[in-house]
Structure formats: structure tokens, C-alpha cells
Amino acid sequence: MTLSIDIQSVHKHFGRKVAVHDLSLSIPPGELFAFLGPNGAGKTTTIKMICGLLHPQRGTIDVCGHRMGINGLAGKAKLAYVPDQPFLYDKLTGREFLLFVGEMYRVPTAEQKRIIDELGERLVMGDFLDKLTESYSHGMKQKVVLSAALMHDPEVLIIDEPMVGLDPRTVRVVKDLFRERVNQGRTVFMSTHTLGVAEAVADRIGILNHGRLVCLGTMSELRKQAAAQHSLEDIFLELTHPELQSDDGPGPETVPNGGTLSEGGSHVVES
């Protein structure tokens, strides 16, 4: 089986600061993966490397079997990336933007219109889709960029803070959309600080701290390992405690290659 995302021993540093340290992570098709970590843990750097925007100094990243790197066009065709700050052209309407994205991904014209209508109805965008995006609120922008990411039905959807700015009804719609995609064999890779969302929808959760993957597994595995802790919040706080490790220190043992149990109590094995 070709993995959706296959990260092998990836290392990235900015000057003397190590952003990602020897990270290995394998995500199969049909999984909703939640990527957690405190600010500055290296989540966004990892995401940018998966998208081919940054290049690791060591290690490899494959998306649907395509090596991401200088010529990562084949991998990029398979994925969609929604950054935490949604990007839209101010002087285009939402519909014009979606049509542009459809053209970029070579979606047939008739299909583009059908998808826009379908998503417009589902995410309740009818009122504003034909207005210039400069007048949109954060939530409206988030809906449009999410729709743009779904235009070409990507194998892998990478999304940074998906629920920020969305109203509760849309949050529910987005959760359902993610679940539908996963059921269709697509992969959703979600970075978030909203632990409740991760707990509710993720198949597996990975926690990054100081550039190291300190925890990886399903919610029940996490609970099993951290016996005294019952919520993801408790587990997260324990694993990312500021005194636990520093940039210079050796830190806790990391989860190797997303599969082997590490010793240390709180680290969790992949199922």
C-alpha cells in the first residue's frame, strides 16, 4: 500500500535553532491525523516541508509515493494545503477564486461549477460568493479556502487550524466533510490547538514538542499509556511541559518511525 504521507528521519534547522529533529511519521490513506504541539514546536515547518515549500536538510518526504523536493509537482498535484492565515486575492470574488483554483488543478469546467454549487450550499456561501473577498470575515475566507482545497478532490488535505473563525454549525459541517473524505479513502492531516476537535475527530494524534515527535497513537492508546490522565488536554500538558525538555537538552525519547513503543511511560505506540 502506498502511504499518503511518508516522512523518514527528517531534520530541519534554521541557523542554530533546530525546528524539526529526526522526525519519522507514516500516514496511510483513509486516516484523519491530528498534529498537535505548543507554539514553536515545529508543526508549521513540518507542514511546509510536506507541501514542498521548505526542504529538509536530512531525510525524505513522500506524498502518495511522490518525493517532495525541488521538483515536487507530482506530489503537489495530489495534495491541498490550507494555511492558518487563509490566502485569497482581495480583488476577486470567491467564485472567481474557486474557478481559478479549478483551472489550476485542471478540473473540467462543468465539474468546477457543480463542485462550487455543492460546496456553496453545504458551507452556506451563497450570500457572499459573488462579492469581492476583501469584504469577507475570517470565517468566510476560511470557508472559501477550504472549498478551494476541495476543488480537485485531493488525496491528501493538509489543513492548519481548520476551525478558527468558523461558527458552530460550520464547524460541524467541516467535521462531517473530513469524516466523509476519510471514509472515501482520502487523508486529512490537521494541525490544531483545539484539543477538543482533535479528540473528537482524529483517528490518530501526534504531539510534537521542540521538533520531536513525543507522542503518537489513537486516543484510546494515549489514554491507556497515560493512565492517570483522561483528557487529551491533560496528556498534552504533561508531554509538553516546559521543564520536560529544552532546545539544548536531549529531551524525551522520540517515537521512532511512527511504530515502536518508547520507554518512558507517556509515549504511545502506534496501533
Q: Which spans of this chain sit near another protein (rule: CB under 8 A)?
A: 12, 14-17, 19, 45, 48, 51-55, 70, 73-74, 76-81, 83, 85, 87, 89-93, 96, 100-101, 103-108, 111, 115, 118-119, 132, 150, 152-153
CB of 124 to another protein, least distance (A): 17
> What are the cell numbers at 182?
476519510
CB of 142 to another protein, least distance (A): 14
CB of 192 to another protein, least distance (A): 18
Alpha helices in 89-167 (DSSP H): 94-104, 109-122, 138-150
The alpha carbons of the chain give a radius of gyration, in whole angstroms, of: 19
Choose between 73 and 200: whose C-beta lies nearer to another protein: 73
Choose between 185 and 259: whose C-beta lies nearer to another protein: 185
Q: Tell me how far the alpha carbon of residue 192 is from its chain's centroid.
A: 8
Q: Of 231, 238, 243, 233, give the one whose Cα is nearest residue 266.
A: 238
CB of 4 to another protein, least distance (A): 14
Q: Is beta strand 32-36 parallel, antiparallel or unpaired with respect to 17-27? A: unpaired
Choose between 79 and 198: whose C-beta lies nearer to another protein: 79
Residue 114 and residue 121: Cα distance in Å, rounded?
11
Choose between 20 and 213: whose C-beta lies nearer to another protein: 20
Choose between 158 and 255: whose C-beta lies nearer to another protein: 158
Q: Of 4, 43, 33, give the one whose Cα is nearest residue 202.
A: 33
Neighbours of 33 (CB within 10 A): 24
Residue 92 and residue 96: Cα distance in Å, rounded?
6
Choose between 30 and 83: whose C-beta lies nearer to another protein: 83
221's torsion region: left (phi>0), alpha (psi -120 to 50) or beta?
alpha
CB of 78 to another protein, least distance (A): 6
DSSP letter at 70 equals T
CB of 218 to another protein, least distance (A): 28
